[in-house]
Every structure is written in C-alpha cells, then in structure tokens.
Amino acid sequence: MLPLLLERDGLVAVDKPIGLPTTGRDLDDPRCVQHALAVQLGRPVWAVHQLDAGTSGVCLFVTKKSLVATWSEQLARGEKRYLALVHGVPTWAKTRVDAPLRYVQAKKRVAVVPDGKDARTELRRLTHGPAHAIVEARPKTGRTHQVRVHLAHVGHPLVGDALHGPARNGDAGVSHALLHLREIRLGGDTLCSAPPAAFVEQARRRDVAVP
C-alpha cells in the first residue's frame, strides 16, 4: 500500500518509494506508482509531475485527467524542497544556480548549454561529513533532471548519479541517485515525506546526519 499524504478536490499525494517510476508506458503498465495507486483507489489516476524511479518522496496525482493542467499550474506557483546527498562539502551556505538546460543527443542526457531553456535552482547546505553533504535544493523551474544536473554543474554531483556525475569511490552498490522530495508547498497545504531508510543509511555511512 502506498502511504497517502493528502486526498482532496481530486488531488492525491502519495509518499513515493524508491525503485518505481512515477508512470509507465500507459495506464495499465503495472511497473509504476500510477498503476499501484489506481489499483489501491479503485479508479484511474494521472500524474501531475514526474519523479525518477530512484527518487523518493512527495508525488502528486489527480483522479480526473482534466485536473492535470489545474494542479500543474498550482505546483508551478508552489515550492518543492529536495534533500540531496552529494559528493564534496560546499564552501557556500547558500547559492543560486542559473544555468539553462536541454537534452543533448550527443551526450544522451540533459546538460547545461547556452541555448537551453531557462533553469534556476536555489541550494542550501544543511549538514556535512568529511567528504559528503546533504543539500536542500529548491528548483524554481521544472526542467527534466534539473536538480541532478545543476548539482553536478556546481561540482557536487549526487551520490549514485552515474548519468550526470562521474563515477566516484563509494558509489559502488548504490543503484540510484540519492535524491528525496521532502516537501511540496502548494495553496495552503504543506506535504511532507521523511527520507527513506536507504537514504538515511547511505548518509550514515558517510558520517552525514540527515536533518
């Protein structure tokens, strides 16, 4: 059973686990959160936004397809707060990344490029150990892989992010980028999700306390 964080006005917020993509190939694809939630509720649901399979945390769905645009607009005016376990200890307490993004076919991934789409992320160092840190990331735009790419761009790639960060010592055995959507604020609601045990354990191994 997926933990429900909120259910009202056609909006359903769930605590997404690690390992499942938000959506699949279609509404009947069983290997995704969308299908699991539809079975749980006994009715179809549609995703308001996407989280990677390896990203955990607050994930929003609606029970009518016509509500996707409404809640997408609400989410764009709201705020997301991610916890990111990164390589290195940032010298800054806070910083703002303003680096345009687009998919680059030659690299087969999203990258920072001068002619990309506007992308802005606010970062804040929360806790750290000798060689790693937990950073809060607040994306101000909604580009694909924005947080992951921006963290790598400033020299602090996510632990376990083989796509956007170079292979690092200590990443062996980590099957996904260590990113958790801890909080979404939209309208008068604040939806929160505690980091999963796997995230906490990986932080502990690096002597980093999870705030």
Taking domain 1-77, whether its CATH number is 3.30.70.580 is answered by: yes
Instruction: Please give the CATH superfamily to which domain 79-211 belongs.
Output: Pseudouridine synthase (3.30.2350.10)
| Local confidence pLDDT in tens for the 211 residues of the chain | 999 999 999 999 999 999 999 999 888 889 999 999 999 999 999 999 999 999 999 999 999 999 999 999 999 999 999 999 999 999 999 999 999 999 999 989 999 999 999 999 999 999 999 999 999 999 999 999 999 999 999 999 999 998 887 766 667 678 899 999 999 999 889 999 999 999 999 999 999 999 9
Concerning whether 207 is annotated as a catalytic residue, the answer is no
Structure tokens at 88: 């290195």
169 vs 179: CA distance, rounded Å: 18
57, containing H or E segment: strand 56-62
The neighbouring-strand residues paired with 185 are: 79, 190
pTM assigned to the model: 0.94
Q: Any bridge partners for residue 15, and if so which? A: 58
Helix residue ranges per DSSP H, the chain: 33-41, 68-77, 146-153, 197-205
Helix, strand, coil % over all residues of the chain, rounded to 5: 20, 35, 45
Q: Which residues contact 151 (CB under 8 A, 6 or more apart)?
A: 84, 86, 123, 135, 137, 157, 158, 164, 165
Return the domain boundaries, the chain: 1-77, 79-211
Catalytic option among 15, 52, 161, 171: 52
